[in-house]
Chain A
Amino acid sequence: MSGFANVAEYARADELGQCWLTAFRKTVASAATTTKAWIDYSYFAGSPPANFYASAPSVAALVERDKGFRFPDVTPKTQHLKTVNVMTANTATAVNARQRLILCDYLLYYPFIDTDAIGETQTMTNNADDPLVPAIPRYPAGKVIAVAQSAASTIGTFTFTYTNQDGVGGRVSQAHSTFAVAGGGQVVSADGGGTSFNPYLALQSGDTGVKSIESVTFTGAGGGLMALVIVKPLFNGYVTQECRTTTGVAYGAADEFMSIINAAGAPQIKDGAVLNFFAEGTQGSLAGSQLVGFVETVWN
C-alpha cells in the first residue's frame, strides 16, 4: 500500500531516506505590486529560474519542470508535503513583505491572451484540437489564475468558456475584471471595478474545476497581455514579518508549517509536479523583496 498507514510509518520514512528537502530563493521584480493583489512567484528570478509562460500564443502548454521546486518521482509510492518554512528579505525602506502564500502544482497554461481584443473571441488550442498539444496532467481539473505577462493600463472585463471537471464543455465563467498592474507576474483578476482581487477565477455555478479552456472574450479593454493558468492548490500559509535591520534594530520572523501537526493529513505531490507559490502582499508592494525557504517531502 502506498501512503502512510500511521504516524510510525510517517516518521520512519525519513530513516529510510524516503525524503527530500529543496530550498528556494525568489526575487520579485522591481515593478510595484498592488496591496492585497496576488503575484506569481514562478514568474520571478532566482532559484528555481523564472517562468515567463513563453510559448505559442493561446496554445495550451505545460510549465517546464525546472521552473518549479525540484522533487523526485516516487511511483509506485506516494509523496507528501511534510514541511514548508519561509522567510522574506527586504530593504530597510520597503518593509511590507507580509504575505499570504498558496503552494500550487502548475498544471496547464494558455499564454499571451490579448486583454485589448474587445469583442473578439480568442480561441484556445487544446489537446482535443491537436494531439501534440498537452492535456491537463496529474489531476482531472484545477482552478484558474490570470497572470499578467506585461504591464496593464486599465480595468478590463472578460469571460472564458471551458470544459469542467466532469468533461462538460461550453461552460461560461463569471464575468471578471482585470486591473492596472505595473509588470508581468502579477495576478490581474479582480471583482467589480478592480479593487477586490481574486486568486482564482469564478466559474459557472455548480462547477468545481476546469479541465481545459476553449476561448476568452474581452468586453472591456485591459491594456495588456495575460496567461490563464490552471493550478492545483496544495497548501495555504502566511509570512508574518519581513526580515530586516533598521538603525541597528533587527526584525524578522520565520514561518513553519508542518503537515499532520498544523493540518489534517499531508497533501500529495504527484510525480512530475511543478510547484511554486502564489502570494498576496497584504501590507503593500512586494517589489524587490525576496522569498526564501525550503519545502520538505516524505514518501512511502
Chain B
Amino acid sequence: MGWTSQDDLITQLTVNGKGDTVTMTKTLNSAGTAGAWTLLSPHNGWPIASTFAGADLTYVPTDDTWAQGTIYTGGDVSTATKHFLTAGGCVVAAAGAPWYIMAIDLVGYVPLTTTNVSTTGTKTVTMTALSNTASKGDRYANGVGLRMFVASSVVAMGANAPTCIINYLDQGGAAGATTTFTSTASMGVGQLLNTGAAANKYNPFLPLAAGDTGVSDIVSLVWAGTAHASGSVIIGLCKPLWCLPLPATGLYSKMDLVNAMPSMRQIKDGANIQFLLFQTGATTTGGTVNIDFDYGYGG
C-alpha cells in the first residue's frame, strides 16, 4: 500500500527516508519535427543513449535494470507501493517551444531493422503474451493500460512514408488492430512515426480497437505502400504516467502530483521510466532536456 494519510506521507519521507529525487538530462542528437513526439532514450546524456539491442522482430522486455539507459528509482519496495510526488522539467533550445514531457514506463519493445523496415508486408513478431504473474515483465497484468507507438530507434528514417498498422492481442487475449497511420519520411532518431501535425497521425499513441484497454501481445507490424528507403524502428509498449507542459525555453515547470486527481501515479517494481517529448516547432539539434521527479513509498 501507499500511505494512510498526509501525516503518514510526511513521516515516511522525513523520518523513515522512504523517498528520493531523480534527475536526468538529454541532449538532442538531431533536429526535431514540428508537431511530432520524440522518445528521448536514444539521445545522448544521462541515462546513456539506448541502442535497443535484440533480435529483429522479437519482443524485448525491459525493467529498471535495463543496461541501455534507465533511471534507478530505489529498487523494489513491495509490499509497499511507490508513487510519483512531483515532476519538473525544462528545455533549453533555440526553437521548438512550447513542449510537453510525458513520462512512460517502457515495458518492452520490438526492434525492426534493415529489410524489416525497407520492405513492405507483414512482419511477424515473436512475443510471449503478458499475463498475470509476479514477473516484472507482467507488472501491468495482462497488459492492462499499455499503449503502443512506433519510433525511429538507432538509424534515422530514409525517404518515403508507408502506411502502418499493428496487430495485437488485447488485455483479454482477443485479436485487435490499431488504426492505420501514415509514417513520415526522414524522421530523426527517437521520433515517433505515428505522430505529427497531419492527417492519419495519432499523438502520441496508436488508437486501439473499440473496447480495448490494453495490449498483452504484439502480433505483427504491417507496412504498406512505398517502404522507407532505410532506417530502424521499435514498436514501443508502455504505460503513460504523467504529462508536464514546458511553455518556453529556459522556463522550469514543476507539477504537484500529490494533490492532483487522480493523484500519485504508481511506479511499479521494475518500472523502466523513459520520456517522450512533444515539440510544437522543430526543436534545435543540441537542445537540452532536463527532467526531475520526486517519489516516495509507504508501508
Contacts and interface: CB of A to CB of B under 8 A. Distances in A.
Interface in A1-58: 7, 10-12, 14-19, 21-25, 27, 45-49
Contact of A21 (B35, B197, B240, B280): B240
A290 B95 CA distance: 14
A73 interface: yes
A294 B100 contact: yes
A166 interface: no
Given A18-B213, A252-B248, A89 B261 contact: no
Contact of B198 (A11, A49, A89): A49
B262 A11 contact: yes
B83 to A, nearest CB: 12
A87 B203 CA distance: 16
Contact of B260 (A88, A253, A258, A293): A258
Contacts of A292: 98, 100, 278, 280
A47 B203 contact: yes
A74 B211 contact: yes
Interface residues of B, number: 48
Interface stretch (A121-129, A184-192, A242-250): A242-250
A70 B207 contact: yes
A46 B197 contact: yes
Contacts of A74: 210-211
A89 B204 contact: no
Interface in B255-275: 260-263, 265-266
Contact of B261 (A10, A22, A293): A10
B199 interface: yes
A250 B205 CA distance: 30
Main secondary structure, interface of B, reads: loop
Given A17-B171, A25-B35, A292-B98, A244 B248 contact: yes
A146 B208 CA distance: 35
A122 B212 CA distance: 45
Contacts of A7: 261
Contacts of B262: 10-12, 14
A47 B199 CA distance: 7
Contacts of B35: 25, 46-47
A66 B199 contact: yes
B61 to A, nearest CB: 19
A11 B248 contact: no
A22 B265 CA distance: 19
B203 A72 contact: no
A243 B203 contact: no
Nearest to B142: A17
B245 A87 contact: yes
A59 B249 CA distance: 48
Interface string A65-102: 01000101110000000000101110000000000000
Is the interface on chain A under 10, 10 to 19, 20 to 34, or 35 or more residues? 35 or more
A290 to B, nearest CB: 6
A252 B98 contact: yes
Contacts of B210: 72-74
B103 to A, nearest CB: 12
A89 B199 contact: no
Nearest to A45: B197
Contacts of A135: none
Nearest to A266: B261
Interface in A223-260: 241, 243-245, 250-254, 256, 258-260
A70 B206 CA distance: 10
A264 interface: no
A147 B74 CA distance: 55
Nearest to A85: B245
A89 B281 contact: yes
B197 A87 contact: no
B146 A17 contact: yes
A70 B202 contact: yes
A261 interface: yes
Given A14-B145, A21-B205, A290 B280 contact: yes
B251 interface: yes
Given A15-B145, A74-B211, A261-B261, A254 B245 contact: yes
Contact of B248 (A18, A243, A293): A243
Given A47-B203, A250-B251, A251-B248, A23 B213 contact: no
Q: Which 7 A-B pairs have the closest CB atoms?
A: A252-B247, A254-B245, A17-B213, A11-B262, A17-B145, A252-B248, A250-B248
Given A25-B280, A73-B210, A87-B280, 18 more contacts: A17-B214, A21-B204, A23-B37, A25-B203, A46-B197, A46-B198, A47-B203, A72-B207, A72-B210, A73-B211, A87-B247, A243-B280, A252-B251, A253-B247, A254-B246, A254-B247, A254-B253, A292-B100
10 contacts: A11-B261, A14-B145, A17-B213, A23-B203, A23-B278, A89-B281, A243-B98, A250-B247, A250-B251, A293-B245
